[in-house]
Amino acid sequence: MTKSSNSDGFAHQLWEFFASVKLSVFILLSLAVTSIFGTVIPQNKNPLSYHQKFGDVLFKLFKTLDMFDMYHSWWFRFLLCLLTINIIVCSINRLSSTWKIIFPKRPSFNINRFRKAKNRQQWSAQGSVEQVKDRISPWISKRFGRFTVESSANGYLLFGEKNRWTRLGVYAVHLSILLMVAGGLVGSIFGFDGYVNIPEGASVDSVLLRGNQPEVKLNFKIKCDDFDLTFYEESEMPKEYRSRLSIIKDNQTVIQKDIIVNDPLRFEGINIFQSTYGKMPATQLNVTFTEKASGLIYNKKATMTSPVEMPGNSGTLIIEEFRPHFSFRGVTLANTFLCRMIPRQGDPKHIIISADFPRFDMMRQGDFIISISNTDFKYYTGLQVTKDPGVPIVYVGFLFMIIGCYVTFFMFHQKICVEISTDSGKTAVMAAGISEKNKPGMNVVIRRLSRQLQKLT
């Protein structure tokens, strides 16, 4: 056996593998199961929250499998690409036979099938066979794309046909799935989903991505001109929180808008949503490191999200997030900082520091006890900043899905036959129709056709 035949055999096996319906079922089930995990496990939360909820072993396992940002993981994208290849190969594999049905060289009509059809209608007509043919032929030819007249032993056979192309409806559905998958992949690769907290009067030109990814630099600034919070009467439950934002580009304010929940600001393909609000430190923080062995105290100045060098060149500390309320082992703590400690050697650790309890960190194993003080607070607006260039592609996919489903379920290939013959000196007319997909619909078509033809004859 030659190398050429071996390669041809392998290519054929590979083609059959991707054309398999079993592969389609496997991929769809895999996507369904993984989507359940993506729903059960909250996505893109703070790593400390995951560590506290799942423990050290499950946290490391889920992190390795990218379960905390599942929809951007390599294996989820691989499943989508596999589904795309499977749909394309299946469509190509079946398109050749479908194409021959839609565009036959010589359409064939079997009169015996029409004569045996259960929906056939029969009646007597006025005039000769030739006269009846001349009266109804123009009406049928206008309503059916293909129309032919054939002579028979006793008269004429009028054949009409339309909507062969509706067999392509399923391919429109396939194309819609491909477009939606492509849109999802484009958004996953080239888009982002970030967040930013902006105090009143401050501005930012970058946003933090979820899952400890690098921040994204914007080509404009977002400024919070004002933040307004209203409560229900005699209640501490917020009724509405509103942010007045300005978009500043090239040192000029180009857009100003008040945003609330579900009413975002959109600029250059980027969506800015009102997501949350809260309090954050208004001034520089004092971070105190107390060495457990010697009792020595080291004071450092820090700001949110900026690295702080720890004493003894032992690593860095990043204050990532502040929460006015945080649940720790069933106890709700107020004014809590979520931090990430990056030692010189070893893996990063997520720790929590309570501003109200300076000795809270004593419970943690390590060389230093860490506390944070000088925490004056003011309100900030929490914004979700997203960019998804794949959305237009997904919308086009939905459009093709609607068109494909309509063609597939509400339109069908129709073949009709009207036989005009002489029976005992009278002119007899028989009308019948055949449809491979929608027989009840074909029955309705024949009844309507018969009523109209009886008026003409």
One domain, residues 35 and 117: no
One domain, residues 140 and 155: yes
Q: How many domains does the chain have?
A: 4
Length of the chain counted residue by residue: 457
Distance of CA 98 to the CA centre of its chain: 30
- pLDDT band (50, 70, 90) for residue 211: low
- pLDDT band (50, 70, 90) for residue 282: low
- Residue-wise pLDDT for 32-42, tens only, equals 998 888 888 88
Higher pLDDT pick, 85 / 321:
85
**DSSP output for 220-277:** EEEEEEEEEEEE-TT--SEEEEEEEEEEEETTEEEEEEEEBTTB-EEETTEEEEEEEE
Whether the per-residue pLDDT at 351 is higher than 60: the answer is yes
Whether the per-residue pLDDT at 394 is higher than 70: the answer is yes
- Rg of the Cα atoms in the chain: 36
Q: Report in angstroms the alpha-carbon separations of 328 from 170, 217, 325, 333, 420.
A: 53, 34, 10, 7, 88
Which residue's structure tokens are 């560590």?
51
Within a 10 A sphere around the Cβ of 174, how many other Cβ atoms?
20
Looking at residue 298, its pLDDT comes to: 95
Looking at residue 415, its pLDDT comes to: 93
Beta bridge partners of 46: none
Is residue 181 included in any domain, yes or no?
Answer: no
Nearest to 305 by CA among 223, 209, 386, 388: 209
One domain, residues 265 and 390: yes
One domain, residues 70 and 13: yes
Looking at residue 6, its pLDDT comes to: 66
Whether the per-residue pLDDT at 19 is higher than 90: the answer is no
Q: How large is the average pLDDT for residues 114-135?
A: 92
Looking at residue 197, its pLDDT comes to: 87
Q: How large is the average pLDDT for residues 409-419?
A: 92
* Average pLDDT of the residues of the chain: 88
Higher pLDDT pick, 351 / 321:
351
Half-sphere exposure of 401 (CA within 13 A, CB side): 12
CATH number, domain containing residue 423: 3.30.310
Whether the per-residue pLDDT at 69 is higher than 80: the answer is yes
Looking at residue 105, its pLDDT comes to: 74
Q: Dihedral angle at the C-alpha atoms of 296, 301, 303, 307, nearest 10 degrees?
A: -60
Beta bridge partners of 321: 338
**Cα-Cα-Cα-Cα dihedral sign, residues 395, 399, 402, 408:** negative
Element (H, E) at 393: helix 391-410
Looking at residue 348, its pLDDT comes to: 87
Nearest-angstrom CA–CA distance, 337 and 355: 7
Least confident stretch, 147-156, 165-174, 177-186, 280-289: 280-289
One domain, residues 252 and 310: no
Provide the domain limits for residue 418: 111-163+412-456
